[in-house]
Chains A and B, each alone.
Chain A
Amino acid sequence: MTEIQKNGPPPIEVRGLRKVFRQATTGQSVVAIDRLDLTIASREVVAIVGQTGCGKSTFFDLMIGLEAPTDGSIRIGGKSPYADFDFFRGHMATVFQQDRLLPWRSALDNAKLPLELIGHSEEEQRERALSWLKRLGLENFTNAYPHELSGGMRQRVAIARAFSVQPQILLADEAFGHLDEVTAAELRETFLSLTRETGATAILITHQLEEAIAVGDRIVVFGQSARLLADIHVAQWPPSEYGTLREAIQWTLQNQRPDPRLAQAPSAAAQSH
């Protein structure tokens, strides 16, 4: 059992997070994220939903540490993903909307990439990458180049690449949105079971409400400038009420204010009676 599995990854604390961009053409400032507060517990799987341009991708970049916040902070176990960039090498992994595999590397070499960066021995890199590819059903395609694989297979390699370092934090940006429904559902399930098994904390950004409900322990609904419109604990909703939950999130996104139905989750309501 790894240390993460024993102790769990550190919680993520977002406090007063603000990100302002200056438009190159007009010189005007655009507030992408406006004073966001969010706490994500260890091993929680959080789905973030929101309309296009609401700041989801900016939040993703800030979480990875590729952008510096204009104001406020993101703290993971007291460390900042931006200021303490190198600290998170091997502790954080990402799955993007497109697979983003390196075309000159085989599936195995792509899965090995993060392990090479950490500096594991060649033998360990190979062993770990092969083991993850095998778990994702790609044992017969380890030497195939990305262009020789289907979209779903390429995304599996990308997932293997992310899991190969056994990260504490997993970030997925619309990771299954470009796949057909059957492949997406299959990959979602695999991703979720592997996340649970490794004990990682996962943040999934998605525009698909079904996906958010199927995967997330929590669903965080972003309004414009990543204003927190709703923070839903999915476990409080029995599966028979998922239809209502979906409608309520949809209403929230359309009206940019929380649907009253979200304030009274069915299980919570049942308890109060």
Chain B
Amino acid sequence: MPLEAIEEHRTPVPVLSFPRQTVASLLIFAVCWETLSHLSPLLGIPPFAVPSFATIARSMARITPLDVVVTLARVIGALIASFTVGIALAMAMYRSETLDKYLHPMVRILMAVPVVSWILFAVLWFPGVEFRIGFVLVVVCGPVFLVDTLDAMRNVPRELRQMMRSFRPTVPQFFVKLMLPAIVPTIFTSWKVNISLAIRVVTIAELVGAVTGIGHQLSVAQELFSVADVFAWTIVLVALLFLLEAVVARLEARILRWRA
């Protein structure tokens, strides 16, 4: 293939797209919801249970950016911490079979514990709210990063490992030049899974004890029986998730352009 043809072949991959079907399904849902909100008195449903979009819009206008920023910072901070711990442990476990044998069962147990249990443990163990939330997020997301990374390392083709070793790299060179680039696709998948997980977990963690963040605002909305507020904050959460996923997808398209 001539060079020009190769360059031409490399078309950028669209990061976010909204096909017609997606827009149509969202519109159908919106029309159904709005109709139901107007019909709810006739159907015996309390008026606050299905608020109209106008009411939800008023709630949206009352969204406090500080709570959004706080939740976002907690999620990003915890994901970075989880990723660092996860990848460091995965590399250590890849290098040491003994360490792997000791840590593997513990990781499996950690992954089997329900999120609610971790939240209760955190509340009972730690007085600081931020530490509690960070602890819960890291203990839930960290093992996912660890297991995914370790699996990806073990799946690096033997042929590539043999080729690399034949050129006699040092241990850090072996990881930096071969293992880490080879597992980047899996790392991106793991980030996508963990972003979704972290958004859900942070909300539950903030419900208990926090005085800031989207979870706390959801708790307030629940106390006020304001479905419109719950809906508004939920929209913000979903938007945050999409935003973070879009950032990761853009990075992925850029870093993994060699796969195009």
Question: In whole Å, how far is A81's beta carbon from the nearest beta carbon of chain B?
Answer: 10
Of A84-92, A174-182, A234-242, A244-252, the one touching chain B: A84-92
Q: Considering only CB atoms, which chain A residue lies closest to B165 in the complex?
A: A66
Name the B residues within 8 Å of A90 (CB-CB).
Answer: 168
Which A8-42 residues have C-beta < 8 A from chain B? none
Q: A104-B258, A140-B3 are in contact. Are A114 and B163 (CB under 8 A)?
A: no
Q: Does A103 contact B6, Cβ atoms closer than 8 Å?
A: no
Please indicate the chain B residues that have their CB under 8 angstroms from the CB of A104 in the complex.
181-182, 184, 256, 258
Known: A104-B258, A140-B2, A141-B3. A117 touches B159 (CB 8 A): no
Bound-complex Cα distance A86 to B168 (A): 6
Closest residue of chain A to B257, judged by CB?
Answer: A145
CA distance A85 to B168 in the complex (A): 7
B contact residues around A113 at 8 Å (CB): 167, 177
Contact with B along A96-113 (1 / 0, CB 8 A): 101010111100000001
The chain A residue sitting closest to B260, CB to CB, is: A145
**Interface SS of B by simple majority:** helix
Flag whether A210 is at the interface (Cβ < 8 A).
no
Inter-chain contact B169/A117, CB cutoff 8 Å: yes
Query: Complex: how many Å from CA A93 to CA B164?
Result: 11
* Chain B residue at minimum C-beta to C-beta distance from A116: B177
- Structural contact, B177 and A117, CB atoms closer than 8 A: yes
Chain A residues, Cβ within 8 Å of B167: 89, 93-94, 113-114, 117, 165
Instruction: Judge whether B60 is part of the interface by a CB distance below 8 angstroms.
Output: no
A65 to B9, CA, bound (A): 41
Chain B residues with CB below 8 A from A94, complex form:
163, 166-167
Q: What residues of chain A lie closer than 8 Å to B6, measured between beta carbons?
A: 141, 143-144, 148
Q: Which residues on B sit within 8 Å (CB–CB) of A64?
A: 165-166
Least Cβ–Cβ distance between A188 and chain B, in angstroms: 21
A19 to B160, CA, bound (A): 23
Q: Which residues does chain A contribute within 8 Å of B177, judged by CB atoms?
A: 102, 113, 116-117
B: contact size bracket:
20 to 34
Return the CB mask of A200-215 against B: 1 if under 8 Å, else 0: 0000000000000000
How near does chain A come to B191, taking the closest CB pair, in angstroms?
18
- Let me know if B168 and A102 touch, CB within 8 A: no
Q: Tell me whether A117 and B258 are in contact in the complex, defined as CB-CB below 8 angstroms, given that A100-B160, A102-B178, A148-B1 are known contacts.
A: no
The reply to whether A102 and B181 form a contact with Cβ atoms under 8 Å apart is yes
Nearest CB of B to A100, in Å = 4
CB < 8 Å neighbour of A102 from B160, B165, B170, B256: B160
Q: How far is the CB of A215 from chain B (nearest CB, A)?
A: 20
Contact across chains for B3 and A144 when beta carbons are under 8 A apart = yes
CA distance A65 to B166 in the complex (A): 8
Nearest neighbor of A158 in chain B, beta-carbon distance: B163
Choose among B6, B168, B184, B259 the residue with the greatest number of A CB atoms under 10 Å from its CB: B168
Interface residue? B173 (CB, 8 A): yes
Complex Cα distance, B198 from A150, in Å, reads 44
Q: Does B162 contact A (CB under 8 A)?
A: yes
Give the docked Cα–Cα distance between A98 and B162 (Å).
12
A141→B167 CA distance, assembly (Å): 24
Q: Residue of A at shortest CB range from B160? A: A100
Q: B159–A96 contact, CB under 8 A?
A: yes
Can you spell out 12 A-B residue pairs with CB atoms less than 8 angstroms apart? A92-B168, A94-B163, A94-B167, A98-B159, A100-B160, A102-B181, A104-B182, A117-B169, A143-B6, A148-B1, A148-B6, A149-B1
Beyond A93-B166, A103-B258, A143-B6, 19 additional pairs, beta carbon < 8 A: A86-B168, A89-B167, A92-B166, A94-B163, A94-B166, A96-B162, A100-B162, A102-B160, A102-B177, A104-B181, A105-B181, A113-B167, A140-B2, A140-B3, A144-B1, A144-B3, A144-B6, A149-B1, A171-B166
